[in-house]
Amino acid sequence: MFLSRVERANNNRQQIKSLTHLGAYHDWVEQSFPEEMKQGERLRHLWRLDQIAGREYLLILSQNKPDLQALSRYGVPGTEMTKNYDQFLNQLQPDDQMN
């Protein structure tokens, strides 16, 4: 599993105009996995918009690593990143509490 994020570009009017509905965000997420699209695969990608340190980010949890160039499509250049989420999940123990 991979956890990815990119800061949403709030200063670019054209990009903001393109993201006026949830379907546009869904398309942004799906287009970030071009290999899956080429193969006709429709894997589930869990995504959400969230604020981190006062900035708005698109967060994606996925089975495969996204294409970072495609992920930056509506994002602030240089803010896209992906981390291996399995490392975090594998260190969790029963009754662990995350604050």
Write the single-letter amino acid at 30. E
pLDDT score of 33 more than 90: yes
3-class secondary structure, 10: coil
pLDDT score of 99 more than 80: no
pLDDT score of 45 more than 90: yes
Looking at domain 2-91, its CATH superfamily turns out to be: Crispr-associated protein; domain 1 (3.30.70.1200)
The pair of structure tokens assigned to 3 is 């956890």
Q: Give the single-character DSSP code of 60.
A: E
Task: Quickly count: other Cβ atoms within 10 Å of residue 14's Cβ.
Answer: 8
Beta partners for residue 83, in sequence order: 3
CB 3 within 8 A of CB 63: no
Q: pTM of the full predicted structure? A: 0.84
